Amino acid sequence: MPEFVMELDEDQRGVRDWIHGFAADVMRPAAAEWDEREEFPWPVVQEAAKIGLYSLDFYAQQFFDPTGLGIPMTLEELFWGDAGLGLAIAGTGLAAIGVLTSGTDEQIGTWLPQMYGDAGDVKVAAFCSSEPDAGSDVSAMRTRAVYDEARDEWVINGTKTWATNGGIANVHVVVAVVDPSLGSRGHASFIVPPGTAGLSQGQKFKKHGIRASHTAEVVLDQVRVPGSCLLGGKEKLDERLARARERARGAGGTANSSNAAMATFEASRPAVGAQAVGIARAAYETALDYARTRVQFGRPIIDNQGVAFQLADMRTRIDAARLLVWRASWMATTGRPFTSAEGSMSKLFAGETAKTVTAQAMQILGGNGFTREYPVERMHRDAAIYTVFEGTSEIQRLVIARAVSGVPIR
């Protein structure tokens, strides 16, 4: 089992430099345009697919890197390039993780290739969990899946919201309630194949940041999917529901703990933290370069302690966030349990770091930082979501507090 390391090996550095080159040469020159357009950047994703950066093979190689550092390294570089474009390239990964964590080998082999397509026919996928009245409170989920035994089909009805790639995806992974009496334990995940009748895109959101990433509602109206589209299969689901019912009876109430959506989010939190580290690093580097060249009162502003100390704090937080992300990624890859909610720690600290560092970068740039002539304004807008999506900072603190105290804090 690999030991935890704090530096990349030669092969990993080669991959990192290759991604960095794409981020610098392709993503950064296009970032402002796609932010203004607020459209999904198909040409940029296609360029990534042409060189193999957007492909199932590449992400599988990084996902199965035995050190656990392949995915965070990749995401940090992409989001250093630009967060909106980075999420357009990486957004399919959340749906892929949903299948990897819950699906059978046959389902993984069938659906993951269809999520990415190929260089000549690029596809994306969407993970659909949140609802208008069920965000952090997953037990409030209302989207319902009912089994039609005569036809061996599941019938899904409901509305999902805040779905990255929702409605434009080739494959949608949908979390739905199969047993309302079990609360969050009565959920399951389903594949909705391409072209399935009844699935449509609802409202497309106009966002404060990450504007190049497509975010929309997904409406499911009498959507029928084959029984084989239940991730993990019905036998496994029936066994899990039976255990949950037994525990609920033993506890004298409803069992509310881990579920299909939370399993996906817990696996993805270090990856989201890596995205935030990339944004923070980009803002820090911009501010550092500016401070070295901006002259006021006859000298570069970095000569002033007020500026230099800010940069010192920024770099310290970024390095600390990266180490938390790497630790959690290594733990997940090597099968070590998050006994102290290390995945949530990494996402919490990295997300808060991105917000803080991008705000400090704007301050260092002064009036220029507030304009769209410089990228830190966009980075600051992009960073704001990292204390909100895939579990708000408040939810991360709740998860950590419960883990370290053993008390069901509310």
Among all residues, which ones are annotated catalytic?
390
Whether 322 and 328 have beta carbons less than 8 Å apart is answered as no
* Spatial distance between the Cα atoms of 275 and 124, rounded to a whole number of angstroms: 19
Write out the two tokens for 64. Answer: 């199965």
Residues 206, 397: Cα–Cα separation, whole Å: 28
Element (H, E) at 231: none
Q: End-to-end alpha-carbon separation of the chain, Å?
A: 37
Contacts of 106 (CB under 8 A, 6+ apart): none
| Torsion sign across C-alpha atoms 59, 60, 65, 71 | positive
Strand partners, 220: 158, 199
d(CA 220, CA 143): 8
Calpha distance 319→74 (Å, rounded):
16
- Determine phi and psi for 287, rounding to 5 degrees: -65, -40
Indicate if the alpha-carbon torsion angle 387, 17, 285, 36 is positive or negative: negative
Task: Please name every residue paired with 325 in a beta bridge, in sequence order, or none if there are none.
Answer: none
Helices and strands in the chain: count of H runs, count of E runs: 14, 11
d(CA 171, CA 145): 17
Q: Bridge-partner residues for 157, per DSSP? A: 144
Strand partners, 295: 300
Rounded Cα distance, 314 and 330, in Å: 24
Task: Identify which of 214, 114, 95 has the alpha carbon closest to the alpha carbon of residue 164.
Answer: 214
Cα dihedral 391, 393, 397, 403 in deg (nearest 10)? 30
